[in-house]
């Protein structure tokens, strides 16, 4: 059973616990060091090269951690919710895709579902 950690201004959803179970010990230690508490998490997000916004409409972000893992989180004001943990490859499957135009210039395209990609 997944446990949800909650402290004032900081919450870790149960999905993260489930994702942690699938990692090896070294990966668990690295991710655990980041999400242990609000202070550790904020220290990790201080490096803007490791943080990327993933939604235009909602305050959703990814935090890059070693081994190709990404921590998905939401930040509204001072409230932080760690929502999920996944590999970058998995995240790429659901993100915006780039496409080439007739002139060869790439542009951001619409979301493409896995069934559409297969066509």
CATH number of residue 56's parent domain: 3.30.2310.20
Q: Which domain holds residue 39?
A: 5-94
* Beta bridge pairs of residue 12: 5, 82
pLDDT in tens, 72-111: 999 999 999 999 999 887 877 766 555 555 555 555 555 5
- Residue 117 covered by a domain: no
Buried b (16+ CB within 10 A) or exposed e, 10-49: bbbbebbbebbeebeeebeeebeebbeebeebeebbeeee
**How many structural domains compose the chain?**
1
More reliable by pLDDT, 65 or 111: 65
Task: Give residue 53's pLDDT.
Answer: 93
Task: Give residue 95's pLDDT.
Answer: 62
- Residue 109 covered by a domain: no
């Amino acid at each position: 059973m997944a446990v949800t950690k909650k402290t004032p201004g900081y919450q870790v959803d149960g999905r993260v616990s489930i994702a942690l179970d699938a990692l090896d010990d070294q990966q668990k230690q690295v991710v655990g060091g980041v999400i242990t508490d609000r202070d550790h998490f904020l220290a990790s997000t201080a490096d803007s090269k490791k943080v990327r916004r993933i939604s235009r409409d909602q305050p959703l972000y990814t935090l890059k951690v070693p081994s190709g893992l990404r921590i998905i989180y939401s930040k509204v004001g001072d409230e932080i919710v760690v929502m999920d943990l996944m590999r970058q490859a998995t995240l790429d499957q659901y993100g915006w895709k780039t496409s080439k135009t007739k002139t060869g210039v790439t542009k951001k395209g619409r979301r493409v579902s896995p069934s559409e990609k297969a066509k």
